């Protein structure tokens, strides 16, 4: 039997249902790649125009993908952007091994040369997930162990990544005050406070926290980027608060290490 025009001639009647599903899956993937390439959220009309798809089909795809967390609707702007699930998928790929293998030697050298505890963290929803930890001998025990998750807005590693994300994505992660928790009574407590802090840290290229995670300890961190200039991880250093070293001095070291990790990932920094 001859296959319908425009279809793969290898399909038979048993594959008719698959034929109806594959185009939808392909369109959804094209839509995700399109959103990932934009500087910020875009309208459904722009998506339909640039992808050459019927607007009704685009709305159906967007609603289905929003239900699964892959896209986020910004009702006030009438635009759509990537959702948390899309970022988690990208982060999961890197967590499966390459990222840790590439970053491990950098953290070992960083801990040896600075005498501080070095971490590799990624964003997991609104949390920082720690993948690696290297510490010098006799270093104090910290809560930031491998596999530990902490609120991203309190950690230097988490904010180093958040500061490099589109504002719409940060708003989706922190839409209201109810999304803010604290551990020591310090740290941003509202979307406005977080936005102002991230603006400062984005401009200077590194993030810091002082006793926001653990009393008596401070941290600095800088982000590493992939080939699309999106932040995929952060390298951080944690030291006791009384240690006679300035955050800027430690920041110089973590920025160098994060830049090297970006190079190893064949990535590029924004701008």
**How far from chain centre, in Å, is Cα 106?**
20
pLDDT of residue 135: 86
Q: Evaluate whether 13-82 and 88-264 have a shared fold.
A: no
Confidence of residue 21 (pLDDT cuts 50, 70, 90): low
For residue 178, name the pLDDT band (cuts at 50, 70, 90).
confident
Residue 110 has pLDDT above 70, yes or no: yes
Question: What distance in Å separates the CA atoms of residue 230 and residue 265, rounded to the nearest whole number?
Answer: 12
Q: Average pLDDT for residues 44-52, to the nearest whole number?
A: 93
Q: Which of 154-163, 210-219, 255-264 has the lowest mean pLDDT?
A: 210-219
Structural domain boundaries of the chain? 13-82, 88-264
What pLDDT band is residue 147 in, cutting at 50, 70 and 90? confident
Q: With a cut of 50, say whether residue 157 has pLDDT above it.
A: yes
CATH number of 88-264: 3.30.450.40
Place of tokens 């180093």: 160
Average pLDDT over residues 246-263: 92
> DSSP readout, 151-164?
ETTTSHHHHHHHTT
Confidence of residue 214 (pLDDT cuts 50, 70, 90): confident
Instruction: List the structure tokens of 224.
Output: 């590493």
Q: Which fold has domain 13-82?
A: Arc Repressor Mutant, subunit A (1.10.10)
CA distances from 3 to 8, 12, 24, 25, 226 (A): 7, 8, 19, 21, 42
> For 217-241, how does the pLDDT look when each residue is reduced to its tens digit (9 = 90+)?
899 999 999 988 999 999 999 988 7
Average pLDDT value for the chain: 85
pLDDT at 177: 86
What would the pLDDT profile of 73-87 be if each residue is shown by its tens digit? 998 889 999 988 888
Out of 14-28, 60-74, 81-95, the most confident range is: 60-74
């Amino acid at each position: 039997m001859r296959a319908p025009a425009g279809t793969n001639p290898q399909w038979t009647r048993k594959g008719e249902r698959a034929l109806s599903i594959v185009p939808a899956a392909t369109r959804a993937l094209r839509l995700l790649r399109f959103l990932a390439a934009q500087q910020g959220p875009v309208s459904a009309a722009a998506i339909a125009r640039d992808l050459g798809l019927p607007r009704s089909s685009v709305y159906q795809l967007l609603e289905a993908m929003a239900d699964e967390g892959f896209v986020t609707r910004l009702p006030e702007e009438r635009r759509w952007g990537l959702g948390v699930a899309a970022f988690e998928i990208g982060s999961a790929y890197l967590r499966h091994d390459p990222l840790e293998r590439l970053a491990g030697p950098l953290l070992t050298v960083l801990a040896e040369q600075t005498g501080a505890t070095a971490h590799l963290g990624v964003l997991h929803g609104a949390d920082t997930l720690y993948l690696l930890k290297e510490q010098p001998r006799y270093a104090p025990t910290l809560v930031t162990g491998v596999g530990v998750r902490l609120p991203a807005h309190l950690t230097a590693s988490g904010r180093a990544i958040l500061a490099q994300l589109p504002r719409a994505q940060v708003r989706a992660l922190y839409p209201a005050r109810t999304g803010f928790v604290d551990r020591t009574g310090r740290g941003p407590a509202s979307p406005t406070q977080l936005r102002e802090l991230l603006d400062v840290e984005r401009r200077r290229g590194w993030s810091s926290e002082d006793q926001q995670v653990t009393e008596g300890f401070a941290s600095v961190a800088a982000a590493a980027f992939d080939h699309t200039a999106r932040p995929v991880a952060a390298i951080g250093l944690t030291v006791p608060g009384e240690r006679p070293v300035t955050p800027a001095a430690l920041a110089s070291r973590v920025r160098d290490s994060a830049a090297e990790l970006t190079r190893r990932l064949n990535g590029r920094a924004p701008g």
